[in-house]
Amino acid sequence: MPVACASGCGRNAFMRRPKTGDTLCKECFFLAFETEIHNTIQQEQLFRPGEKVAIAASGGKDSTVLAHVMNVLNKRYNYGLELVLLSIDEGITGYRDDSLKTVAQNRDDYGMPLRVLSYQELYGWTMDRIVAEIGRSNNCTFCGVFRRQALDRGARLMEVDCVATGHNADDIAETVIMNILRGDTARLRRCCDIKTGSKEADTIPRVKPLKYSYEKEIVMYAHFKKLVYFSTECVFAPNAYRGHARAFLKDLEKVRPSAIMDIIHAGEQLQIKGTVKKPVRGVCGRCGFVSSQQPCKACVLLEGLNRGLPKLGIGKKSKGERMVALQEQQLREKAHLVKNDF
């Protein structure tokens, strides 16, 4: 027997929302999904009229839905925003090169200018080459660090006022779990922030309009809206630490559907003792981009690759310093031997 749409529109329901449990027809689901994102934008004051906003576009479901919804809301509610697309090409054969075709489709569909920056262009390395050097155990560390800085570099080149990323509720809940398990108090404090960075701190802000949107609903929205997105997982992702947090979260969600929002709200309320040493965010002395250490993690990792010490930035800083000192000692000894030969 057909179930009536809970909104009272008179149509039959076609789904039960994972987030609220409401039975809705397709049109009411679209409206509810979009309205919730609009309410988040308004309540958190993510944008101001006249701003130029870069949407971090990977071609996946999250960024594709974000681009579509931002385009819809910008017109519906007259935000007055200039929307552009910013993509990062990590240089992963068979993955990123294909997903960028989807981003190009988004550019054409929504009429948004697109800028693509590559790791090769920015750092002189591709992820394929990095993985060949480091192996598959720490490759996500390189990709994550380089990608975050690449977005900052791209945002500065495009002269935007802020960057909107497609992080959804599942992503943020997973990050809370990861940071708790790693005891990373610095990231734990800011991973639930819907807006990070500020112009006052000389950094381009990043915002997460999909912070309270469930991954399942994002997939359903993309599917029933017939949006074109790239769904293949990164070839280097199966060994990622995040995968274990994701599996744990999915098991929790089966037992308690509200677990995702519960974890996010818990993360928002967490307070770190005043006696705990907190890293101070500043600017890297080498590259000039935001960092909580000197030099920044991206510069350390890049130095390791260029020195032939790919594990230089992995682990404690003191370990990396010993590696550099040992290499320099070996180079001096080699130079001394060559000098004696003559």
Place of tokens 């529109």: 9
User: Is 130 within any annotated ligand binding site?
Assistant: no
- For residue 4, the cross-strand partners are 12
What tokens appear for 335 in the block? 């130079």
Taking CA 309 as the corner, what is the angle to CA 308 and CA 314, rounded to the nearest 5 degrees? 150
Handedness of CA 59, 64, 67, 68 (dihedral sign): positive
What are the structure tokens assigned to 85, written together?
């697309």
57 is in an annotated binding site: yes
Q: Report the relative pairing of strands 23-24 and 52-56 from DSSP bridges.
A: unpaired
For residue 66, count other CB atoms closer than 10 A to its CB.
26
- DSSP line for 182-218: HT-HHHHHHTT-SEE--TTTTS--EE-TTTT--HHHH
Please say whether the beta carbons of 320 and 304 come within 8 A. Answer: yes
- Scanning the chain, the segments in alpha helix (DSSP H) are 26-44, 61-76, 96-110, 119-123, 127-134, 139-158, 169-182, 185-190, 215-224, 242-255, 259-269, 297-307, 317-341
7 labeled binding residue: no
Annotated binding site for ATP: 56-58, 62, 88, 166, 171
Residues belonging to the binding site are 56-58, 62, 88, 166, 171
